[in-house]
């Protein structure tokens, strides 16, 4: 039985990835901060799909705890064939209003943890000649949304670079770039999303289904939803001054994106 490790696995896209991968027959290692919630999700998934589920509580803003997850990924006796770097969060305040501690935590989780966990998992996958790295990014990485957008831009470009390094190894790397997804993300960040039109919202299950389908095909960037395929193309090819103006209006409206 193959094994998948998912960070941020107890809610939102992470929980959808856990369900989808368990339905495929993967055993799971679920990573999140809260032991009780991890245990509850593990029990639910085992009961529903009959797969083995291990839990690994970790705060990915803490370097020692990140390293504990990295050691689990590098363990040759319990190989991980699929790594989903999903953990993330957003901040409500703009860069000038937010604390530097919150900004640093954002980078620790969205950038540093993704790099360190990918680096821990990939050598074993390459040695075995198979595996999938799935990094949850965001369409926010193509616009100017301060530290969050910059972090997601890094995730996408990092994944594209790793995919090039992996060519011919049998291992794939996919950056998943959703738009607005109905999860706990915005509520936890206390973001007011009342102004977002209905047509812009996606379901977590649809995003995950598209992500796994694209990863199976070896696609490097996965964008779910035709509306976001169009918006992503526009954001990438519009003149940058126009993209910056769009980003300024977005920050003024108090919007946010899925981590």
Active-site annotation holder among 49, 148, 228, 237: 148
To 10 degrees, the CA torsion angle through 37, 32, 18, 222?
140
Q: Does residue 144 contact residue 247 with C-beta atoms inside 8 Å?
A: yes
CA nearest to 191, candidates 122, 121, 257, 97: 257
Alpha carbon of 137 to those of 49, 89, 127, 178, 239: distances in Å? 28, 11, 26, 7, 22
Q: Which helix (H) or strand (E) holds 133?
A: strand 131-136
- Say how far apart CA 139 and CA 249 lie, in whole Å: 16
Q: Does residue 73 contact residue 133 with C-beta atoms inside 8 Å?
A: no
In 10 A of CB 70, how many CB atoms? 18
Determine whether 148 is an active site residue: yes
- Say how far apart CA 94 and CA 146 lie, in whole Å: 7
- Say how far apart CA 77 and CA 84 lie, in whole Å: 20
User: 142: which residues sit within 8 A by CB, 6+ positions away?
Assistant: 153, 232, 235, 236, 243
Residue numbers annotated as active site: 148
């Amino acid at each position: 039985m193959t094994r998948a490790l998912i960070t941020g696995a107890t809610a939102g896209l992470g929980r959808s990835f856990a369900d989808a991968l368990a339905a495929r027959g993967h055993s799971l290692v679920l990573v999140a901060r809260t032991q009780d919630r991890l245990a509850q999700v593990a029990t639910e998934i085992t009961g529903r799909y009959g797969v083995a589920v291990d839990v690994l509580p970790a705060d990915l803003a803490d370097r020692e705890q990140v390293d504990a997850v990295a050691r689990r990924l590098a363990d040759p006796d319990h190989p991980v064939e699929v790594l989903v770097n999903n953990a993330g969060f957003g901040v409500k305040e703009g860069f000038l209003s937010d604390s530097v501690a919150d900004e640093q935590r954002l980078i620790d989780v969205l950038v540093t943890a993704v790099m360190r966990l990918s680096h821990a998992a990939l050598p074993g996958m390459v040695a075995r000649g198979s595996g999938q790295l799935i990094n949850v990014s965001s369409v926010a990485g193509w616009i100017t949304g301060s530290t969050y957008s910059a972090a997601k831009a890094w995730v996408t470009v990092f994944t594209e670079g790793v995919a090039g390094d992996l060519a011919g190894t049998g291992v794939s790397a996919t950056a998943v770039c959703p738009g607005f997804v109905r999860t706990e993300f915005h509520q936890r960040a206390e973001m007011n999303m009342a102004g977002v039109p209905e047509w812009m919202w996606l379901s977590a299950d649809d995003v995950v289904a598209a992500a796994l389908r694209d990863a199976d095909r070896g696609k490097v960037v996965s964008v779910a939803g035709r509306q976001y395929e169009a918006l992503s193309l526009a954001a990438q090819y519009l003149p940058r001054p126009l993209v910056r103006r769009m980003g300024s209006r977005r920050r003024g409206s108090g919007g946010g994106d899925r981590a």
